[in-house]
């Protein structure tokens, strides 16, 4: 495991990331995470229903500040995430290689793409309203303007296969517009996501904007899908049967739902994921002396 | 301590340190990634307008130098425009970050070379410069989403000529969208304020920007004319006087060069009787005295509803008495130096014309420094539409006050100018704001605020204030083949 | 512009009488208050922030620190207050820095009404009999009590020797638009401030601006209180989440400026709550200086309601004197 055999390495205890802090699961449970060759990598926290509940509370608490921050400020923070990741590139390459059984160079390409994806979304913060909003020429003496606003707290089931590029590709589009998130990591490959929490915690991102839970996807996702204070759910990491169950539960408070579909994470991401978690608000105002 | 304590609350000098900026005794032209002397070795001096101290010597670019710069930009264009947008974006993000890192140094430099108060260069110019690069960095890989077709192409080499009032900010407005869209540039800063552009060349070096993508040629109007007239450029972007703007429009006639012009203005700042009066006074002061009034969109014509004229003018004069004129590097200075002797002469001429034509001149008592170029904040009342000070751009801290009785009259007077850059409206009534905004023939309308700028927000004029927009999604159009 | 008279002088009542038409009825008062110019929140905040960038150095800083100390209403308003605590505060107010006798005294000691007598005594024995005693009254901080109780509260404090009364308005009445009720309340409390010797305790009127929420409300409350005879207008009790802020204080400074221009009556301003550092205090003095000028730059017309501010001012003062930063062990804890 170590490059130098004369020294015993110090292992990291992986923890959840909730409200800007790093708790263990309240349940006290962990589960074994292995690499592609079934070698032990770490014990990851196995989050419970209560951890999910706490994460939603943290996300809701952060929503006012994050959605109220200027788009410029949010863009700067997402770019800062890219800067911080670049500095820890080697760590993520190792974790992605271990998790997904990739060569160093293939894992490196994944990490590079993930860093660039933060940069891509950083640039969208102050532009999405310029392509998704509009001035509407209504037939009357009214000023009429439509602009997008974040929908609220988004539960995100990260993809099971792409432990880092896929993960970043579902988190960044949700938060760049001002939503806050509860992210359920890839069940079998949670380590890059848990490490990402450490990067987010040092990137000026306010605590609670991204909350990261590892564990059994079905166990954590069920309370999130049914939670009345969650506004949207991205089902990317859910298997078909689970996805249907969760979508049914999500109907209770009419959550916005993104269904799982095959995605090439290395392709141009477009604007779809951002638009999925935006509401359009239209303002009317009379014009007259 | 007691012996040195004054008996009144007079602010002691609070100078920003000059030590943060290291100005070389001379600068060459920045062509193809290197500083080089002018072909004929000619130089000119750049001075600090607040002290007339010589800051540095700068090369005077000749036709030959301009040609070399354009060729360097042309050579660089092939690779730069072929880069994936995401890679161009990262260069621009780097530049934005380096500007943020070096912002105090650049703010001090700008205040030294331009004469503007450090409070403004520090709190307005530099943050906007960085934000502008940050904003357009984000567009570089999103051009397909900008509304100009699925795969919009850059134009080629842009020749850009900028003014002296916001040297680095005008550079940012020109260079950031040009590079984001995939163009390369040759930029000529103003003769009296070349230094921040030359420091920007060093920022390009730190960012690792490929050679020739940005070229800076310093010089006077003749250098600018060489650049604009050069057959090797595909795009002309100019900010400056309407007179020069018209000359450029004539020069490019019959060519395929794309042109954007951001020219003069004579903005009306319209105050209704239901305005939030204390904030209106601040807006009027900011509108005309920000940057010594060296602002093309300055609110140089105050149009006040007759029913509140006396109250408003009393409040305005009271406020003007608290303006602090002096050392641009003092952190408490509100109004700095006039940028040049030439500009000072022009302001004086127009102010004298105001008096000669019968308007009443008023300025608060303020001690002006003995060296450098200074003009006290000045108010003219009893001004009519016929006066020169109501029609011509003064580009100095001089406000002309006119009155109106009804909204229709306010609109008529506000629009009664060949210019159309900006306007201000002060009223608590929302529907009136929108009605007025609809009628005003101006590219930017501020309501209950003035002189606000943001990289996401397009800026530019109607009529003789020029054409094209800078900033926002609209600002990309000027640098794309659409 | 009319000649200036102080709000606490005899002539002020005559000036206010000339405004009697606007307070003649609830309707008239409402029309007047709602006819005041609106406040644009963004512009007001921007102006306060810009004034906050003033850089006050060296001699100006020394002047401002001493001025700020002399303007402090050194305050303790706790349920746990005891005579011992109040005596300690009085000693501190009379002699803020035991190592440096050149430090000015504070303006006043601000306590609950039942501590007035204790404070008067303690100040006299500490050599600070020229320091005023201010008492909060009228069911401070909520203002939720019957009028006779509020008046009795006030009279008790005045009888015990209070030089100043800090009353709270009935925010419930104000927010529900019963302006005349608030006006009458202030007037009656002002009358209750009278002393048998013909003098009167000065009346500060607290708006609890954090509860009034909008700047328009603060401007209306300011005029309302000044028309009713307030000697000072004060932002806050210090007991709610949002206390004095620079924009609210700036707005109140503009209100006293405009009130004097209209009536000739000069009224003081007291921001209170949340002002803890010298830097903050100096920002407020800059606002006073550039909005009102020297005429208000004395403890007669501007006060800080504060407690921990004093020690920070003292540490900054020590820094100016010695050239090195001081620490909390070099100022007294009271």
Q: What is the ipTM metric for this complex?
A: 0.96
Residue A280: HSE in the Cβ half-sphere, 13 Å Cα cutoff: 14
d(CA B196, CA B211): 19
CB atoms within 10 A of CB B400: 28
Give the pLDDT score at C2.
84
Q: Judge whether C234 counts as a catalytic residue.
A: yes
pLDDT in tens, C66-86: 999 999 999 999 999 999 999
d(CA B182, CA B146): 14
Q: Which residues in chain B are classed under CATH 3.40.605.10?
A: 18-263+464-477
d(CA B469, CA B457): 9
- Nearest of A163, A122, A151, A118 to residue A255 by alpha carbon: A151
- Nearest of B291, B304, B263, B299 to residue B424 by alpha carbon: B299
Put simply, whether B142 touches A (Cβ < 8 Å) is: yes
Put simply, whether C1 touches B (Cβ < 8 Å) is: no
- Confidence (pTM): 0.97
Residues B244/B221, Cβ–Cβ less than 8 Å:
yes
d(CA A116, CA A276): 21
* Token representation of residue C28: 């008239």
Which residues on chain C are in Cβ contact (under 8 Å) with B4? 59, 62
Give the pLDDT score at A5.
72
Domain assignment present for residue C331? The answer is no
Q: Residue C38 and residue B1: Cβ atoms within 8 Å?
A: no
pLDDT in tens, C93-105: 999 999 999 999 9
Give the pLDDT score at B6.
65
Give the pLDDT score at C248.
98
* Domain CATH for C113: 3.20.20.70
d(CA A144, CA A134): 9
d(CA A83, CA C22): 63
Partnered with residue C204 across adjacent β-strands are C166, C232
Write the residue in B2, B9, B448 that is nearest to C285 by C-beta: B9
d(CA B315, CA B304): 13
- Across C257-296, b (16+ Cβ under 10 Å) vs e yields bbbbeebbbbbbbbbbbbbeebebbbbbbbbbbbbbeeeb
What is the CATH code of the structural domain delimited by A40-286? 3.40.605.10
* Angle subtended at Cα B329 by Cα B327 and Cα B334, rounded to the nearest 5 degrees: 65
- Nearest of B365, B80, B57 to residue B210 by alpha carbon: B80
- Across A153-183, b (16+ Cβ under 10 Å) vs e yields bbbbbbbbebbbbbbbbbbbbbbbbbbbbbb
What is the CATH code of the structural domain delimited by B268-454? 3.40.309.10
Give the chain B residue whose CA is nearest to the CA of A285: B431
* Angle subtended at Cα B180 by Cα B175 and Cα B181, rounded to the nearest 5 degrees: 105
Contacts of C35 (CB under 8 A, 6+ apart): none
Q: Residue B331 and residue C59: Cβ atoms within 8 Å?
A: no
- Nearest of C205, C200, C249 to residue C230 by alpha carbon: C205
Residues C37/B275, Cβ–Cβ less than 8 Å:
yes
Q: Where are the domains of chain A?
A: 40-286
Terminal-to-terminal C-alpha distance of chain B: 69
* Token representation of residue B439: 């009628």
In angstroms, what CA-CA distances link A49 with A54, A220, A248, B234?
9, 6, 18, 62
pLDDT in tens, C301-330: 999 999 999 999 999 999 999 999 999 999
> Which candidate in A83, A284, A289 is best for mutational testing of the B interface (most B CBs within 10 A)?
A289
Q: Mean pLDDT in each 10-residue stretch from start to end of chain B (482 residues)?
A: 64 96 98 98 98 98 98 98 98 98 98 98 98 98 97 98 98 98 98 98 98 98 98 98 97 97 98 98 98 98 98 98 98 98 98 97 95 98 96 98 98 98 98 98 98 98 98 98 94
Contacts of C203 (CB under 8 A, 6+ apart): C8, C164, C165, C167, C186, C189, C190, C193, C229, C230, C231, C232
Which residues on chain B are in Cβ contact (under 8 Å) with C42? 448-449
- Nearest of B361, B408, B366, B324 to residue B120 by alpha carbon: B324
Distance of CA C123 to the CA centre of its chain: 20
Give the chain A residue whose CA is nearest to the CA of B97: A76
β-pairing, B258-262 vs C202-206, is unpaired
In angstroms, what CA-CA distances link A265 with A239, A256, C51?
18, 22, 50
Give the pLDDT score at A228.
98
d(CA B243, CA B250): 11
In angstroms, what CA-CA distances link C184 with B355, C129, C227?
54, 33, 10
Class of domain B18-263+464-477: alpha beta
Residue-wise DSSP of B193-240? --HHHHHHHHHHHHHTPPTTSEEE----HHHHHHHHH-TT-SEEEEES
> Which candidate in C36, C39, C40 is best for mutational testing of the B interface (most B CBs within 10 A)?
C40
Which residues of chain A register pLDDT less than 50? Answer: 1-2
Asked if pLDDT for residue C33 goes beyond 90, the answer is yes
d(CA A16, CA A34): 18
CA distance B407 to chain A (A): 7
Write the residue in A79, A122, A285 that is nearest to B434 by C-beta: A285
Give the pLDDT score at B1.
37
Give the pLDDT score at A4.
60
- Nearest of A286, A152, A246 to residue A208 by alpha carbon: A152
List active site positions of B: 262, 296
Note which residues in 61-90 of chain C have CB less than 8 A from chain B.
61-64, 66-67
Chains C and A touch (3+ CB pairs under 8 A): no
Q: Residue A289 and residue B131: Cβ atoms within 8 Å?
A: no
Give the chain B residue whose CA is nearest to the CA of A113: B86
Distance of CA A286 to the CA centre of its chain: 40
- Nearest of B105, B94, B42, B63 to residue B214 by alpha carbon: B94
CA distance B20 to chain A (A): 25
Domain encompassing residue C162: 5-323
Asked if pLDDT for residue C124 goes beyond 50, the answer is yes
Domain assignment present for residue C193? The answer is yes
**What mean pLDDT comes out for the span C282-299?**
97
Could you tell me the strand order of the sheet in which B444-447 lies? B360-362, B378-381, B398-404, B301-305, B268-271, B422-426, B444-447
Write the residue in A75, A116, A143 that is nearest to B134 by C-beta: A75
- Looking only at Cα atoms, what is the longest distance across chain C? 60
Give the pLDDT score at C334.
77
Domain assignment present for residue C334? The answer is no
Which residues on chain B are in Cβ contact (under 8 Å) with A125? 138
In angstroms, what CA-CA distances link B145 with A114, A175, B481?
21, 20, 15
Q: Domain count of chain C?
A: 1
The radius of gyration of chain B from alpha carbons, rounded to an integer in Å, stands at 22
Residues A273/A258, Cβ–Cβ less than 8 Å:
yes
Q: Which residues of B touch C (CB under 8 A)?
A: 1-2, 4-14, 119, 123, 274-279, 282-283, 322, 331-332, 428, 448-449
């Amino acid at each position: 495991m170590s490059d130098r055999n004369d020294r015993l390495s110090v292992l990291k205890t992986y923890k959840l990331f909730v409200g800007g802090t790093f708790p263990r699961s309240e349940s006290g449970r962990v589960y074994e995470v292995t690499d592609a060759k079934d070698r032990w990598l770490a014990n990851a926290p196995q989050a419970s229903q209560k951890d999910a509940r706490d994460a939603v509370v943290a996300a809701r608490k952060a929503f006012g500040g994050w959605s109220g921050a200027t788009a410029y400020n949010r863009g700067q923070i997402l770019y800062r995430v890219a800067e911080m990741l670049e500095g820890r590139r080697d760590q993520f390459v190792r974790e992605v290689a271990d998790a997904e059984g990739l060569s160093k160079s293939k894992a490196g390409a994944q990490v590079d793409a993930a860093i660039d994806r933060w940069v891509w979304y950083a640039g969208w913060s102050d532009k999405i309203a310029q392509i998704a909003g509009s001035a509407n020429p209504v037939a009357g003496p009214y000023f009429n303007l439509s602009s997008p606003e974040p929908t609220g707290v988004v539960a995100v089931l990260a993809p099971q296969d792409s432990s880092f590029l896929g993960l970043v590709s579902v988190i960044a589009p949700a938060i760049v517009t001002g939503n806050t998130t509860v992210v359920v990591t890839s069940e079998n490959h949670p380590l890059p996501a848990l490490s990402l929490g450490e990067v987010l915690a040092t990137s000026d991102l306010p605590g609670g904007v991204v909350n990261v839970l590892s564990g059994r996807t079905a166990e954590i996702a069920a309370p999130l899908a049914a939670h009345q204070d969650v506004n949207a759910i991205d089902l990317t990491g859910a298997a078909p049967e689970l996805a249907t169950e969760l979508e049914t539960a999500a109907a209770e408070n009419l959550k916005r739902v993104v269904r799982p579909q095959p995605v090439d994470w290395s392709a141009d991401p477009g604007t779809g994921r951002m638009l999925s978690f935006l509401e359009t608000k239209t303002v009317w105002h009379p014009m007259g002396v | 301590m007691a012996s040195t304590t004054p008996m009144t609350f007079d602010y002691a000098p609070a100078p920003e340190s000059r030590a943060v900026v290291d100005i070389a005794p001379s600068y060459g032209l920045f062509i193809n990634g290197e500083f080089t002397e002018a072909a004929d070795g000619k130089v000119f001096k750049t001075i600090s307008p607040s002290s007339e101290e010589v800051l540095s010597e700068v090369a005077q670019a000749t036709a030959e130098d301009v040609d070399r710069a354009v060729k360097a930009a042309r050579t660089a264009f092939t690779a730069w425009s072929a880069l994936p947008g995401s890679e161009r974006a990262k260069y621009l993000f780097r530049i934005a970050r380096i500007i943020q890192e070096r912002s105090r140094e650049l703010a001090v430099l700008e205040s030294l070379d331009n004469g503007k108060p450090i409070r403004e260069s520090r709190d307005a110019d530099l943050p906007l410069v960085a934000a502008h690069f940050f904003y357009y960095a984000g567009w570089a890989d999103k051009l397909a989403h900008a509304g100009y077709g699925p795969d919009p192409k850059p134009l080629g080499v842009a020749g850009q000529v900028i003014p002296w009032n916001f040297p680095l900010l005008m550079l940012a407005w020109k260079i950031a969208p040009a590079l984001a869209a995939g163009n390369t540039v040759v930029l000529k800063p103003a003769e009296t304020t070349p230094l921040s552009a030359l420091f920007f060349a060093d920022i390009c070096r730190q960012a690792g920007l490929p050679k020739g993508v940005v070229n800076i040629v310093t010089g006077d109007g003749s250098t600018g004319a060489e650049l604009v007239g050069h057959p090797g450029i595909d795009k002309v972007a100019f900010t400056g006087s309407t007179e020069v703007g018209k000359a450029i429009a004539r020069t490019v006639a019959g060519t395929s060069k794309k042109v954007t012009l951001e020219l003069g203005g004579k903005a009306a700042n319209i105050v209704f009787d239901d305005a939030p009066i204390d904030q209106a006074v601040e807006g009027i002061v900011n509108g005309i005295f920000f940057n010594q009034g060296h602002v093309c969109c300055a609110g140089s014509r105050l149009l006040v509803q007759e029913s509140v004229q006396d109250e408003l003018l009393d409040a305005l004069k009271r406020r003007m008495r608290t303006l602090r004129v002096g050392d641009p590097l003092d952190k408490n200075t509100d109004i700095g130096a006039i940028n040049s002797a030439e500009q000072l002469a022009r302001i004086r001429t127009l102010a004298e014309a105001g008096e000669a034509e019968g308007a009443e001149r008023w300025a608060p008592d303020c001690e002006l420094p003995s060296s450098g170029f200074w003009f006290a904040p000045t108010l003219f009342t009893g001004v009519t539409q016929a006066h020169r000070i109501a029609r011509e751009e003064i580009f100095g801290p001089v406000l002309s006050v006119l009155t109106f009785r009804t909204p229709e009259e306010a609109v008529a007077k506000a629009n009664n100018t060949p210019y159309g850059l900006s306007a201000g409206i002060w009223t608590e009534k929302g529907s009136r704001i929108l009605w007025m905004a609809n009628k005003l023939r101006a590219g930017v309308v501020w309501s209950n605020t003035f002189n606000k700028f943001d990289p996401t927000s397009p800026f530019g004029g109607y009529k003789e204030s020029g054409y094209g927009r800078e900033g926002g999604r609209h600002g990309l159009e000027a640098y794309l083949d659409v | 512009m009319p000649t200036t008279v102080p709000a606490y002088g005899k002539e002020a009542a005559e000036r206010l009488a000339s405004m009697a038409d606007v307070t003649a009825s609830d309707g008239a008062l409402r029309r007047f208050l709602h006819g005041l110019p609106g406040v644009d929140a963004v512009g007001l905040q921007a102006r306060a922030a810009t004034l906050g960038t003033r850089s006050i150095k060296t001699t100006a800083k020394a002047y401002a620190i001493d001025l700020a100390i002399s303007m402090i209403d050194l305050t303790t308003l706790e349920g746990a207050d005891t005579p011992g605590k109040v005596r300690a505060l009085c000693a501190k107010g009379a002699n803020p820095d035991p190592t440096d006798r050149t430090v000015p005294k504070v303006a006043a000691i601000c306590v609950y009404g039942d501590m007035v007598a204790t404070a008067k005594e303690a100040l006299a024995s500490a050599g600070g009999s020229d320091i005023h005693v201010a008492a909060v009254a009228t069911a401070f901080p909520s203002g939720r009590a019957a009028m006779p109780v509020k008046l009795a509260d006030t009279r008790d404090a005045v009888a015990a020797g209070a030089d100043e009364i800090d009353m709270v308005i009935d925010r419930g009445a104000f927010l529900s638009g019963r302006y005349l009720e608030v006006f009458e309340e202030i007037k009656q409390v002002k009358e209750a401030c009278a002393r048998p010797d013909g003098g009167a305790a000065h009346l500060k009127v607290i708006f609890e601006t954090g509860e009034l929420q909008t700047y328009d409300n603060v401007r209306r409350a300011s005029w309302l209180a000044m028309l009713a005879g307030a000697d000072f207008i004060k932002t806050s009790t210090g007991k709610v989440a949002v206390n004095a802020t620079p924009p609210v204080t700036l707005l109140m400074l503009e209100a006293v400026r405009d009130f004097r221009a209209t009536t000739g009556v000069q009224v003081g301003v007291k921001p209170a709550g949340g002002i803890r550092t010298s830097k903050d205090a100096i920002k407020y003095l800059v606002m006073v200086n550039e909005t009102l000028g020297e005429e208000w730059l004395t403890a007669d017309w501007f006060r800080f309601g504060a407690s921990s501010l004093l020690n920070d001012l003292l540490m900054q003062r020590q820094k100016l004197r010695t050239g090195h930063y001081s620490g909390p062990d070099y100022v007294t804890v009271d």
